Chain A
Amino acid sequence: MTALASIRELTVTYRRDGREVAALEKIRLDIMAGERLAIIGESGSGKSTLALAIAGLLPGSATVGGGVDWFLPSFDAKAPPSVLPDISPSRGEIGSSTGVSSPAAMVIGEIRDDGAISPLEGEMSGRTEGGLIERRAQKSASGRSRTPLLGRDIGFVFQDPSASLDPVMTIGKQIAEVARTHLGLTWPQAYTKAKTLLERVRLPDPDSALRAFPHQLSGGQKQRVAIAAAIAAGPKLLIADEATSALDTIVQAEIVALIRRLVAEDGMTLLFISHDIALAAELADRIAVFRHGKLVELGTTARIIGAPSQAYTRVLLDAHIGLDAAPLLNRSRLDA
């Protein structure tokens, strides 16, 4: 397996009450092409900051050290979305040829100079998150590797689909505009693509769904639409940040099954961010455990669940209350 992205010494700090608070500290992690990698942690672990940093969605107030090396094909390569290119130079090659500021390294916090004209470019379904600064995609000097474009190379699914979908735009248009923006399709072509995507995410009655507005759908259906928009341009990497946490158990299981199927069908790499280690274990090939901004432990799912090497991982596993957990209550209370 080759790496899709190599996170090297990534440090992210936020200013809070005049103090620098480290959200991530010197993270080193390779995301392998085609794998399903889960990032697990509690509040304040830095798991969401990692997702935002990888997607280039960190707020401008964040200070970033280190970075992410990407091993993506150039745009001219015209590789089908399901085929991963064999253009993976080792990290050493990039590092030695370009020094600290590799052209392929992500540029975070760069302010667009043409942002006012083209609000759609470079982000999922045209939505702007308040205070976020977009990162411009750049081709590397060598042409062998480039920085990813959110929406085109990375699909991002957030926890709350109501917040990530535009309430006054039809479902069809929200998906079609991603395809139109990133794939250069005409509107009719993009709508045809949107309908296919709604079928792929198994939304009932895709024809009328195209003309529906988000408020007409249930939470689970909205998340299906958000997933359809996220994969519309055939991204290499799908990031799901607590994408099922606001859903009930049954709908959560359906969305996890949907993500699993889409990732397999399109040969995508999955980054699954969750607080739920059992849910992650059902989906991921590898699990990375985060705590207080540090990577505590990384391994295959079977190894992390079956033989964790760190005490904190054991704490998380023990805290899980499954269907086989011992009852805690005093069963004799009715005799009292």
Chain B
Amino acid sequence: MSLLAVSNLTKRYRRGGKTVTAVDDVSFHIEPGETLALAGPSGSGKSTIARLALRLIEPDAGGIEFEGDDFLALSGSPLRARRARLQMVFQDPLAAFNPRATVARVLDDPLRIHGIASRSERPRRIAALLERVGLSAGLAPRAIHEISGGQRQRVAIARAIATKPSLIVLDEALSALDVSVRGQILDLLLDLQRQERIAYLFISHDLGVVRTIAHRVVLLDGGRIAESGDARAIIDAPQSAVGKALVAATPRLNRSIGP
């Protein structure tokens, strides 16, 4: 049984009297502990699919099965409980957090809301979460806007793993980071996956990163799946027009200095 199974998902938007199909009959699945990448140009539907999978928006058609249940049929407290198992990390953690909150507050919220730890136990849990993502527990009283971008993304990951999820949606989660920081965050994500068997839905337009960390990739174009399969096989020899265009457009270090 798949961890997440998305079938025939469709989402349409009305824009200026016209109907735009942002996601058009998309199906895929993610296994426990697996990284599935969604890649494609702007407007290909990858972020819409992420929001649908998280039930931040509702589809016009199609089904989502998560941990064996019909995810779209859940509501109220069963939905809230299941949401603890499905977390998210976005590109810009400063936009995702209340900027005036402290690191401790950001991590306290999920522990409290999902009833994971008692009030007296929470400071210890927060310290443990910070250490798990490679930060000092001494960072807890600092304001979110005071810490660096890399530290903030680690805090976002700490918040995501606080509720012991089985799946984390990473929507361009590495795109805004400096390259030297990006490698460290990649290592952290891979370590978490190995230790906790977390699956990732990894959304990115960077095929180099997708190729190094994803098991499988779904290439999207205009809301439809252009091709999908083993990430290295697809990126090393794309068959679809959008796959070929994405590979050709990816900057290469050595192209400039010739053969």
Which positions in B face A, CB cutoff 8 Å? 31, 33-35, 41-42, 149, 178-180, 182-183, 186-187, 190, 193-194, 197, 205-209, 211-215, 232, 235-236, 245-258
A251 proximity list for chain B (CB < 8 A): 41-42
A-B CB contact pairs (8 Å), 21 listed? A247-B42, A249-B41, A249-B249, A251-B41, A275-B178, A276-B251, A316-B179, A317-B253, A319-B179, A319-B182, A320-B179, A321-B183, A321-B208, A322-B208, A322-B251, A323-B208, A323-B250, A323-B252, A325-B212, A327-B232, A329-B215
Q: Does A88 contact B (CB under 8 A)?
A: no
* A136, chain B: closest CB distance, angstroms: 36
Instruction: State A282–B254 Cα separation when bound (angstroms).
Output: 8
In this complex, the member of B35, B190, B235, B252 whose beta carbon has the largest number of chain A beta carbons within 10 angstroms is B252
B236: which A residues are within 8 A, CB to CB?
323
Interfacial chain A residues near B249, Cβ < 8 Å: 249-250, 252-254
Chain A residues within 8 Å of B41, by CB: 248-251
In Å, the complex CA distance between A183 and B208 comes to: 45
**A282 and B180 in contact, given A251-B42, A334-B31 (Cβ under 8 angstroms):** no
Contacts of A247 in B (CB 8 A): 42
In whole angstroms, what is the CA distance A326 to B235 when docked? 13
A277 within 8 A of B: yes
Q: Which residues of A contact B186 (CB under 8 A)?
A: 328
With A43-B178, A322-B253, A334-B31 known as contacts, the answer to whether A249 contacts B232 (CB < 8 A) is no
Partner of B197, one of A319, A331, A336: A336
The stretch from A4-12, A120-128, A301-309 touching chain B is A301-309
- Rounded to whole angstroms, the CA-CA distance of A188 and B206 in the bound complex is 44
- Chain B residue numbers with a CB within 8 Å of A336 are 33, 197
When distances are taken between beta carbons in the complex, the residues of chain B under 8 Å from A320 are 179, 208, 253
Q: Which residues of A contact B187 (CB under 8 A)?
A: 328
Q: Which of A249, A327, A331, A334 has the most CB atoms of chain B within a 10 A radius of its CB?
A: A249
A248 to B42 Cα, complex, angstroms: 6
CB-contact partner of B256 in A301, A322, A329, under 8 A:
A301
Does A327 contact B211, Cβ atoms closer than 8 Å? Answer: yes
Closest CB in chain B relative to A247 CB, distance in Å = 8
Residues of chain A lying within 8 A (CB to CB) of residue B211 = 323, 325, 327
New contact pairs (13) apart from A252-B249, A323-B211, CB-CB < 8 Å: A43-B149, A249-B205, A249-B250, A250-B249, A253-B251, A281-B256, A281-B257, A323-B235, A323-B247, A325-B212, A327-B213, A328-B187, A329-B214
In the docked arrangement, what's the CA distance between A321 and B249, Å? 14
Q: Total number of A-B contacts with CB less than 8 angstroms?
A: 124
Contacting residue for A305 out of B182, B212, B256, CB 8 A: B256
Given A278-B251, A282-B252, A282-B256, CB of A42 within 8 Å of CB of B206: no
| Chain B CB within 8 A of A219 CB | yes
The 4 A-B residue pairs with the shortest CB-CB distance in the complex, in nearest-first order: A253-B249, A278-B251, A319-B179, A42-B178
Cα of A327 to Cα of B232 in the assembled complex, Å: 9
Q: Which chain B residue shows the least CB distance to A253?
A: B249
Q: Which residues of chain B come closer than 8 Å to A321, judged between CB atoms?
A: 182-183, 206, 208-209, 212
Q: Is A311 an interface residue (CB 8 A)?
A: no
Are the CB atoms of A277 and B183 closer together than 8 Å? no
A333 in contact (CB, < 8 A): yes
Query: Taking CB as reference atom, which chain A residue is nearest B245?
Result: A250
The answer to whether A278 and B253 have CB atoms under 8 Å apart is yes
B251 and A281 contact, CB distance less than 8 A: yes
Least distance between B153 CB and chain A CB atoms (Å): 13
Q: Kindly state the separation between the CA atoms of A281 and B253 in the bound complex, as whole angstroms.
A: 6
Indicate which residue in A253, A319, A322 contacts B183 across the interface (CB closer than 8 Å): A319
* Measured CA separation A281–B31 after assembly (Å): 39
Which residues of B have CB within 8 Å of A253?
Answer: 248-249, 251
User: Judging by beta carbons under 8 Å apart, are B246 and A250 in contact?
Assistant: yes
Complex contacts, B235 vs chain A, CB 8 Å: 323
Kindly state the separation between the CA atoms of A276 and B34 in the bound complex, as whole angstroms: 29
B190-A328 in contact (CB<8A)? yes
Are B256 and A249 in contact (CB-based, < 8 A)?
A: no
A275 to B180, CA, bound (A): 11
Complex CA–CA separation, A321 to B187 (angstroms): 13
Check A326–B42 contact: CB distance below 8 A. no
User: In the complex, which of the residues B190, B209, B235, B253 has the most CB atoms of chain A within 10 Å of its own CB atom?
Assistant: B253
A97 within 8 A of B: no
User: Which residues of the partner chain B approach A250 to less than 8 Å between Cβ atoms?
Assistant: 41, 245-246, 249
Encoded as 1 (CB less than 8 Å from any B CB) or 0, chain A from 273 to 307 comes to 00111110110100000000000000001100110
